Structure 1
Amino acid sequence: MQQNKSVTEFILLGLTQDPKKQKIVFIIALIFYTGTIMGNLLIILTIKFSRTLGSPMYFFLFHLSFADTCFTTSTAPRLIMDAISAKKIISYNECMMQVFSLHFFGAVEILVLILMAVDRYVAICKPLRYHTIMKRQVCIILIIFAWIVSFIHSISQIALALKLPFCGPNMIDHYCCDLQPLLKLACMDTYVINVQLVANSGAFCLSSFVLLMISYCIILHSLRNHSAEGRKKALSTCTTHITVVILFFVPCIFIYTRPATTLPMDKMVTLFYTIVTPFLNPLIYTLRNAEVKNAMRKLWSIKITSETK
């Protein structure tokens, strides 16, 4: 990636400059990142090798867990490394790659959550046509479309970042590279680019959240026509999805729908949706999903049995 800016590297100030607090950040971030990788990997392997989790919902959950893993990997390793490093330097090219990966995998996660809502809508509101509508080929096409749209979105974000000239201060008051903290360092009037950012990422997050909330309201309203047992099962699944949606979207909307102003809480809000939420997702989907838990038990029992023979 070529660039002709005078600034060739940035210094990430991180969450804190206090050495004692940095050690705490290192431990907590390492725990969360390790837990995220292990939890999502467990879900990925369970869905991959389980014969009982072949429905479209788990096909999309597989991609959500993969996107979660990549999304948190775009920021967490740098945060962990910088917490124990004297020099928190990131090159211009690495910074741009972080902007790209952060928006790419974040967009994938958003679109997969929408596809999961579509799957639940068809399953609950059109049960007789479910297998016809949500065929395997259709699901594959939808997920490919999600990845392509995410790539286009991230390209648009990196295009905005590449427009920014950096000729002065290179200290980013954040733990990762994103457009908001970079706008503060640019030697130009960033009003137009900030409007484009809000119109792109802000509108993308907000419209997706509103669409998801409307779809789940329709789904929950339609449950009144189901049996008590069917209503209980569908309600459990929808509650799980709504929890994940709120945990991910509310912080994103807070960050990307505002004008070019920074608040003291911005870094903690970003930390929540880039590191904490991906850590919580595997817990939410396994603790509240009996099918996933049973599939995990069966796989582990088969593995242990085969090893003892």
Structure 2
Amino acid sequence: MTTLRVWSHQAASFLFSGKRQRVITAVFFTLTLLVITSILYTNRELLRSYEWHIQPYWLVLAIGLMLISMYMGAWAWHRLVADVANVTDRRLNIKIWWYANLAKRLPGVVWYIASRAILYEQAGVAKRTVTLLSGLEIALMFVSGLITTLLTLPFWVLPDEISQNLGYAWFMLVLIPLSLLLIHPRVLEKILAKLSSDKEATPGSLILNWHHTLIWLVMYMVIWVAGGLILFSTINFFQTLSPQQLVPVVGMWSLANSVSLAGAITVTNIGVREVSLALLLTQIMPLPVAIITIIAIRLILLAGGLITAVIALKLQITTLAD
């Protein structure tokens, strides 16, 4: 495991340093275009046979919400880094969060975390501290995703055969207290204290309480809701949904992404979100529409990642020029 971590940091350092940042941006842009082309080609028959009812203003709304969501995610990361590591440069934190998102196109979370650690190291922040913060971010997203899903469950309108089994979903109530242990202030303080004794880690002295944790959880719950709004808008671009379906759609989005996060931590997150979301969406729409919606929202998210990465790169060039 140590060898893998060292190798991943070395590889990320090579890829995300100096002028290679511009090259890697171009590479990921090309890969994204290839992914988009592959998705469209693979589903060409489905796209031809679907009876379209396009409502363009919903797509505009989805893109606008996506950009807002990307800023919200970066802001939540900034608050996390500022509170725990005392790195209060908002521009730096947002810039790195946006740019490191490019590495999410690679399988697993190791590239994403390693690239972020390398970028922060160039700004004088220890890699171990950034790795800890990345793990904390994942834990917060997972717990807030479960909470968001549970809060929406009473509003789900499902067929009787599904509703009868829905009670089993409340097993997630057991997962929440277990997950909260990951972000308990005392647990975090012990981890930070251990890192403080390490020469490479410099989190500084810090006293955490539930005030910090609850604020972080609320921020990520709001981000889950924003993601659900993006999904709802994307669905309405193809097929009209009633306003009553908004809350269930938010829950489906948070549940599918929470499952994907768990997969990323344990095995891999490749396709987990898409498969989970497809299964959930078939409860409120035909499967072909669900597939098209997933393709569309993936393209929107890919575009959002590229747009914010380019903005981050421009900001960094400006900063270096200054």
| TM-score normalised to structure 2 length | 0.29
Q: More helix by proportion, 1 or 2?
A: 2
